[in-house]
Structure 1
Amino acid sequence: MLRTTPLLMVLILALITGCASTSHEPPAPGLAITPAADDTLYRALGQREGIQSLIRSFLYVIADDPRIVDQFAEAPIDRLEEKLNEMVCVIAGGPCHYSGDSMRRVHRGKHISNADFNALVEDLIKAMDREGIPFTVQNTLLARLAVFHGDIVHR
């Protein structure tokens, strides 16, 4: 069951209305993000091992979600898992490097709707709950990921 708090509702509303629609596409391949100033979130997520466990759980939740599983039908799951691990590690302030394409490039032509994006957010929350990640840590990660909404959702 999805818990709603004021911060989560703000995040969901921001995602729904597209407030984070500024493009983050860099001139060259790669994710245009700057690692966090500190590694607080990285440590709170359990460092590499915790992030890997979260991403694995997340992929299982997606696999069981009829709303969006078809979006991943042709995705090379091993590569997807690797890039998600890199991305979350960098966003969390860990000692990682993201070697994948930009979010805009990866999602171009996929026709991802706000409903699809919101389902993915719900799946991430479910995975974080399964992994026992504290709610405040969940909110911090969701806030850092929310900026990619405009690069993922098809307009």
Structure 2
Amino acid sequence: MMIRSLLCSGTLLMATSWINPAMAEDTLYERLGGAEGISVVVDHFIDEISFDRRIYPFFKDSDIERFRNKFSEQLCAVSDGPCIYSGDDMPTVHTGMNISETDFNRVVELLQKAMADSGIPYTDQNRLLQRLAPLRGEMLHR
């Protein structure tokens, strides 16, 4: 009898999650903490860049406020948030920078550290990196 009751409860819970979106799994955007959480990650990322002797030269002449706004917008968009990325495309931004594999991998490490420092669980860090990964080819060796 108890097993039957548990099965009925489980079926009911699954059915209501299909009907009630609030019970469905959160979006990555929500798991990142929404706009506020993304803002914290981006601020930590900018701090990481500013202290990294290898990566800082790529950003030294950048408009940091524009970078902060556009990167936040991009993270919001790729994580299923309510944003549309309105910045330049990746080839335009990265042409002339001659970013190597080593440089790219270091930036990924800095972003991972920024997410960890922001309290983002590793599973969600990996989900975000997976969504950003297709941009890699648009940034390297340009």
TM range (shorter): 0.7 to 0.9
Q: Deviations over 1:11-58 (max 9, x none)?
A: xxxxxxxxxxxxxxxxxxxxxxxxxxx961000000000001100110
Query: Which of the numbers 137, 144, 149 marks the counterpart of 2:124?
Result: 137
Q: Deviations over 1:104-123 (max 9, x none)?
A: 11101111111110000000
- 2:95 match: 108
- 1:82 match: 69
Contact 1:128 1:138 in 2 (8 A): yes
SS in 1 for 2:69: helix
Q: What letter corresponds to residue 143 of structure 1 in structure 2? A: Q
Q: Among all aligned residue pairs of Structure 1 and Structure 2, give the percentage whose two residues are the same amino acid.
A: 47
Kindly report which structure 2 residues correspond to 1:47-62, keeping only aligned pairs within 5 A, or say none.
47-62=34-49
Alignment of 1:91 onto 2:78: yes
- 2:55 match: 68
**Which of structures 1 and 2 has the bigger CA Rg?**
2
How far apart, CA to CA, are the structure 2 residues paired with 1:52 and 1:132?
13
- 2:11 match: none
Structure with more of its chain in helix, by fraction: 2
TM-score (norm 2): 0.80
Contact 1:61 1:123 in 2 (8 A): yes
Q: Deviations over 1:45-92 (max 9, x none)?
A: 000000011001100011111111111010000000000000000000
- 1:124 match: 111
**How many residues matched?**
118
User: Could you list the runs of 4 or more consecutive aligned residues of structure 1 that deviate by over 3 angstroms after TM superposition?
Assistant: none
SS in 2 for 1:147: helix
Higher RCO (CA 8 Å, separation ≥ 6 residues): 1
TM-score (norm 1): 0.74
Q: What letter corresponds to residue 74 of structure 1 in structure 2? A: D
Q: What letter corresponds to residue 52 of structure 1 in structure 2? A: S
- Gap regions ≥5 residues in structure 2: 1-24
- 2:30 match: 43
How far apart, CA to CA, are the structure 1 residues paired with 2:118 and 2:53?
22
